[in-house]
């Protein structure tokens, strides 16, 4: 079995070394039959150069990003140390890698590579050569390689004993064929020279001829390099360059810490100078968020700058920002207790709701008394305006409204409830029975009344009165000062937590009847009696009663189309229409009389409270209803 022989270049005879060096040069007479030049040095130099540039570029990017800028990443934390250490390690590794390949190239006097000579295969990539005799060659073949049908290169495979295969590639097809012919011719020449024992011929073909003459390769194995005579020498790469990754990581960590510290020192100083040049509270605040050495000074300067700016603006929002940014500064107490409330009150609208919101946000402030006084002025102003439009027929109304204003002001609640309560009267059912019986005797139709005045029919009228009175009060009292609202359904009548205007009304038979002038259909005349109580907590209630008498006659508008749909065309309006108009007339009068309790008829508030007079139905046929004598 053929074995590789390992021999150091420097122990070879002087003549062999020079001849071997010359054989690896272009156009040498001892040029190998096949060669594979080692491009590791060139590729390594290029790769490490690119890697170094990438490390330098990324280092500069992270170091200069947000450099000297108050805010995010102005001063980087320890987490950035990893990036700095890796970048510096990569740059150091690139320098050491370039030095490694340059030192390797400079230490080899020959062109490193793999070579096939007439008698040996030589791996000449390191000072210690690996040599294999061609006597152990058991197979040789050349293969033309194609890619997508196009010639790419020719591969020559040399198989030695033990299964070791060495491959050489030739990129030119004609050159490959020429090399094949040369190889075959040289091998024949070697065989012939050996057979003839032609030393001169062998010396010309064999670059290691002098080695063989001195005992062969075995004689030089283990020979000390110190006994080397003068001549070309090959040297290896220093061991420290072989450990370049460990060196790079160590240097990267040390220099990374140093770089991060220096970068942060410079960036922090630049950021503080930028904030001081800007001079605004916002700039100093940004520095404080991420600054380092000048944070205390920035807090002092920022608080002073913000205070000066807010003094010029006098705005609530500015003082709020001051407290958010500089709470704990020497003047923050002054801002919180005096400057901020004064600015907020100055910006508060001249309305009760705005002033109450101010008092809620700034309770017991230095200007709380001023806010209360302004609220009181608004109540006094509204009460004075009410007095100018108040009714002169009810002497107790002005004092009562004055007490109501005092209560609303004291409770900070503008709500006043308007509650309606209908009481049942047996007279309607009695009228249905008596008049129904009487009309049947006379052969006339009777419109039953009792079912038409149940709560579901009167609630819309109650809501109309609530809206009418609200329209009147809003002419004088803003809604944040007094708001008239319908009492919630189901609320107990004895509820005294808020002022209440309670109207109790009874619907009964007036003792009269109405009849149609055309159909002679009879309708029951109704009468409304109203009792009103106005109650304010802890005050004497105000009571008054109202009676609404039925009109002498009234008109109901209806459309014939509505009656045609139910087969009643020509028979007049429906019972619902007639009794609905009666109710509307009564509540219309109630609205006017209630308004007259509070306001003079000529006042603006009274005019706003009117329901609009008689109901306007769609144009069409109508029938007048007149009142006859009682039966």
Model confidence pLDDT, tens digit, residues 186-235:
999 999 988 888 889 888 999 999 999 988 888 888 776 655 567 888 88
pLDDT band at 169 (very low <50, low <70, confident <90, very high): very high
CA 248 to chain centroid, in Å, comes to 43
**Cα–Cα distance, 283 to 71 (Å, whole number):** 9
Q: Tell me the pLDDT band of 493, cut-offs 50, 70 and 90.
A: low
The pLDDT score that the predictor gives to residue 489 is: 64
Q: In Å, how far are 16, 154, 196 from 201, measured between CA atoms?
A: 16, 30, 10
Residue 48 has pLDDT above 60, yes or no: yes
Provide mean pLDDT across the span 13-32. 88
DSSP letter string, 237-251: --HHHHTHHHHHHHH
Query: Cα separation of 285 and 249, whole Å?
Result: 38
Q: What share of the chain is helix, strand, coil (3-state, %, to 5)?
A: 50, 20, 30
Mean pLDDT, the chain, whole residue set: 85
pLDDT at residue 230, as a whole number: 73
pLDDT band at 618 (very low <50, low <70, confident <90, very high): very low
pLDDT for position 293: 92
CA distance 125 to 101: 12
pLDDT band at 183 (very low <50, low <70, confident <90, very high): very high
Q: What's the mean pLDDT in 443-447?
A: 81
Q: What is the largest CA-CA distance in the chain?
A: 169
Q: Name the pLDDT band for 630 (thresholds 50, 70, 90).
A: very low
> For 97-104, what is the mean pLDDT?
86
Query: What's the pLDDT score for residue 85?
Result: 92
If you average pLDDT over residues 594-615, what whole number do you get? Answer: 76
Residue 553, number of CB atoms within 10 A of its CB = 11
In the predicted structure, residue 43 carries a pLDDT above the cut 90? no
- Taking the CA atoms of residue 272, residue 274, residue 280 and residue 282 in that order, the dihedral angle to the nearest 10 degrees is -70
Q: Long-range contacts of range 391-396, CB-CB < 8 Å, 24 or more positions apart?
A: 391/596, 391/597, 391/598, 391/599, 391/600, 392/600, 393/596, 393/597, 394/544, 394/597, 396/542
Higher pLDDT, 284 or 423: 284
Among 521, 530, 533, residue whose Cα is nearest residue 549 = 530
192 against 557, higher pLDDT: 192
> What average pLDDT does range 379-392 have in this prediction?
93
> What percent of the chain stands above pLDDT 90?
47
Q: What is the pLDDT of residue 378?
A: 95
Residue 571 has pLDDT above 70, yes or no: no
Token pair for 191: 């065989």
Which tops the pLDDT comparison, 376 or 618?
376
Angle between helices 368-389 and 352-361 (to 10 degrees): 160
Residue 269 is predicted with a pLDDT of: 92
Q: Which residue has the tokens 């294999």?
A: 132
Is the pLDDT at 79 greater than 60, yes or no?
Answer: yes
Nearby residues of 442 by Cβ (< 8 Å), 6 or more positions away: none
Which stretch of 8-12, 124-128, 365-369, 489-493 has the lowest confidence by average pLDDT?
489-493
pLDDT of residue 264 exceeding 50, the answer is yes
Q: Note the pLDDT of residue 615.
A: 41
620: left (phi over 0), alpha (psi -120 to 50) or beta: left
First-to-final CA distance of the chain: 150
Predicted confidence at residue 614, as pLDDT, reads 39
Q: How confident is the model at residue 613 (pLDDT cuts 50, 70, 90)?
A: very low
Q: What is the predicted pLDDT for the residue at 226?
A: 58
List the structure tokens of 166.
């060495």
Q: How far is CA 490 from CA 302, 425, 441, 494, 625, in A?
A: 60, 22, 45, 11, 38
């Amino acid at each position: 079995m053929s074995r590789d022989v390992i021999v150091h270049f420097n122990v070879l005879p002087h003549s062999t070394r020079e001849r071997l060096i010359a054989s690896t040069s272009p156009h040498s007479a001892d040029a190998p039959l096949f060669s594979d030049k080692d491009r590791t040095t060139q590729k390594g130099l290029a790769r490490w150069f690119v890697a170094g540039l990438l490390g330098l570029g990324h280092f500069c990017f992270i170091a200069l990003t947000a450099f000297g800028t108050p805010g995010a990443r102005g001063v980087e934390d320890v987490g950035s140390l990893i990036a700095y250490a890796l970048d510096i390690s990569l740059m150091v590794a690139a320098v050491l890698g370039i030095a490694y390949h340059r030192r390797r190239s400079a230490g080899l006097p020959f062109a490193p590579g793999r070579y096939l000579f007439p008698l040996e295969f030589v791996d000449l990539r390191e000072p210690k050569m690996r040599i294999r005799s061609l006597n152990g060659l058991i197979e040789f073949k050349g293969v033309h390689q194609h890619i997508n049908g196009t010639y790419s290169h020719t591969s020559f495979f040399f198989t030695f004993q033990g299964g070791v295969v060495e491959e050489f590639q030739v990129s030119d097809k004609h050159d490959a064929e020429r090399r094949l012919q040369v190889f075959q011719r040289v091998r024949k020449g070697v065989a012939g020279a050996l057979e003839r024992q032609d030393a001169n011929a062998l010396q010309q073909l064999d670059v290691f001829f002098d080695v063989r003459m001195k005992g062969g390769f075995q004689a030089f194995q283990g020979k000390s390099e110190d006994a080397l005579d003068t001549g070309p020498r090959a040297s290896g790469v220093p061991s420290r360059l072989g450990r370049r990754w460990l060196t790079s990581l160590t240097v990267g960590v040390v220099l990374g810490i140093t770089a991060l510290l220096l970068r942060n020192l410079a960036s922090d100083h630049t950021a503080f100078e930028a904030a001081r040049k800007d001079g605004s509270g916002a700039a100093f605040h940004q520095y404080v968020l991420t600054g380092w050495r000048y944070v205390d000074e920035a807090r002092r300067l920022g608080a002073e700058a913000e205070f000066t700016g807010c003094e010029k603006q006098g705005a609530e929002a500015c003082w709020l920002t001051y407290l958010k940014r500089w709470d704990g500064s020497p003047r923050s107490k002054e801002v919180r207790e005096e400057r901020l409330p004064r600015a907020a009150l100055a910006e508060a609208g001249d309305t009760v709701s705005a002033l109450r919101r101010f008092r809620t946000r700034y309770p017991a402030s230095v200007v709380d008394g001023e806010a209360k006084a302004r609220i009181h002025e608004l109540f006094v102003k509204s009460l004075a305006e009410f007095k100018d439009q108040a009714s002169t027929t009810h002497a107790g109304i002005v004092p009562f409204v004055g007490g109501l204003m005092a209560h609303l002001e004291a409770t900070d609640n503008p709500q006043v409830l308007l509650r309606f309560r209908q009481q049942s009267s047996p007279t309607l059912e009695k009228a249905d029975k008596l008049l129904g019986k009487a009309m049947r005797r006379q052969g006339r139709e009777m419109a039953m009344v009792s079912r038409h005045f149940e709560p579901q029919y009167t609630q819309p009228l109650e809501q109309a009165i609530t809206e009418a009175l609200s329209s009147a009060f809003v002419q004088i009292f803003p809604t944040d000062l007094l708001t008239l609202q319908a009492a919630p359904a189901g609320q107990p009548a004895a509820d005294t937590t808020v002022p209440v205007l309670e109207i109790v009304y009874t619907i009964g038979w007036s003792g009269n009847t109405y009849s149609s002038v055309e159909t002679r259909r009879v309708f029951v005349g109704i009468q409304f009696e109203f009792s009103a109580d106005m109650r304010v907590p802890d005050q004497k209630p105000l009571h008054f009663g109202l009676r609404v008498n039925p009109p002498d006659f009234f008109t109901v508008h209806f459309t014939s189309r509505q009656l045609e749909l139910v087969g009643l065309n020509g028979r007049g309006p429906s019972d619902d229409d007639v009794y609905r108009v009666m109710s509307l007339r009564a509540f219309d009068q109630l609205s006017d009389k209630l308004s007259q309790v509070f306001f003079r008829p000529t006042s603006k508030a009274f005019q706003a409270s009117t329901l609009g007079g008689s109901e306007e139905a769609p144009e069409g046929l109508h029938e007048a209803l007149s009142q006859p004598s009682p039966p």
